[in-house]
Amino acid sequence: MNLWQDFKTNDKKLIHKWMHYFPIYERHLSCFRNKTTTMVEIGVSKGGSLQMWQRFLGPMATLVGIDIDASCAEHEDDNIFVRIGDQSDKSFLQSVFQEFGTPDIIIDDGSHIMSHIGATFEYFYPRLSKNGIYIVEDLHTAYWEEFEGGVENPETFINKSKSFVDKLNADHARGVIEPDFISKNTFGISFYDSVVVLERGSIPLKKAPMTGHN
Ligand X SMILES: C[S@@+](CC[C@H](N)C(=O)[O-])C[C@H]1O[C@@H](n2cnc3c(N)ncnc32)[C@H](O)[C@@H]1O
Our finding on whether 119 is near ligand X (CB under 6 A) is no
Instruction: Select which of 28, 75, 112, 116 is catalytic.
Output: 112
Q: Is 80 helix (H, G, I), strand (E, B) or coil?
A: strand
Q: To the nearest 10°, the Cα dihedral for 46, 49, 54, 55?
A: 110
Buried b (16+ CB within 10 A) or exposed e, 6-24: ebeeeeebebebeeebbeb
Binding flags for ligand X, 144-183, as an x/- string (CB under 6 A): ----------------------------------------
Q: What residues numbered 23-82 form the site for ligand X, per CB under 6 A?
A: 41-45, 48-49, 66-69
Q: Which of residues 6-25 bind ligand X (CB under 6 A)?
A: 15-17
Binding residue for ligand X, selected from 25, 37, 63, 110, defined by CB under 6 A: 110
Distance separating alpha carbons of residues 62 and 40, to the nearest angstrom: 9
16 included as an active-site residue:
no
Give the closest residue to 57 by CA, choosing from 125, 3, 127, 110: 3
In the complex, the residues that contact ligand X under the rule CB under 6 A are: 15-17, 41-45, 48-49, 66-69, 86-88, 109-111, 116
